[in-house]
Chains A and B, each alone.
Chain A
């Protein structure tokens, strides 16, 4: 199953609902293009909802890092929401869990933007 994205706006925050796999190839490119497009259009408060992401590889991890740093470098903020256990564990062993702003509650995540 490849990755699918849908985008919604909640109180000025862009939430990207991701499902499927973020892996080398289509999944990574789709995520990269989406985040860059959002930033280009001035959407700088972004939440990636990963609740339905069932698989991620090192390329996918790299894309999450890229999305995070690209957003930050453009004066924006990016949070991760609803990590599955697999993604959570991967971010733990790569020591990225504390780098990302990870949330479990969507409403709190939306309110938490500066």
Chain B
């Protein structure tokens, strides 16, 4: 992978699949372990679902931007939508007993579970989600930590 690749995508379910497949391919190319590749691809899928479904609400005139960047320390994946901006205060804890049997609301929790860091920046022109996975040892890319 080059240092950075980015895609501008329609607000469709195909975009969700494309995002997941890209994440799987790039994380594999960078040498992440199989379980980490799965975690990264699932986190990206959840981020893309949120962008398409909750952010852009499938609007044909709104795009999703997906970018993968390899820094010396991390794989950083940025997903941006053009929706009204997520209200972070309104996200319930999916592990709370009263929420366990809800049929939605686990996407951000899964992203946080699978990645080393998740940064969510809502604004009036859209939401930006950064998914960060640390490169560990020599198993991923060319980075070796002392």
Contacts and interface: CB of A to CB of B under 8 A. Distances in A.
Q: By CB atoms of chain A within 10 A, which of B16, B38, B106, B113 has the most?
A: B106
A24 B109 contact: no
Interface residues of A, number: 20
Contact of A69 (B49, B101, B107): B101
Nearest to B49: A24
A25 B103 contact: no
What DSSP secondary structure best describes chain A's contact surface?
A: helix
A65 B103 contact: yes
B102 A65 contact: yes
Contact of B101 (A23, A58, A90, A99): A99
> What size tier do the contact residues of chain B reach?
20 to 34
A59 interface: yes
Interface string B84-124: 00000000001100001111101101100100000000000
A62 B106 CA distance: 8
Nearest to B12: A25
A73 to B, nearest CB: 11
Interface in A59-87: 59, 61-63, 65-66, 68-69, 86
A66 B53 CA distance: 19
Q: By CB atoms of chain B within 10 A, which of A24, A90, A93, A96 has the most?
A: A24
Interface of A: 23-25, 57-59, 61-63, 65-66, 68-69, 86, 90, 93-96, 99
Pairs A-B, 6 closest by C-beta atoms: A62-B103, A58-B106, A58-B107, A66-B103, A25-B13, A95-B95
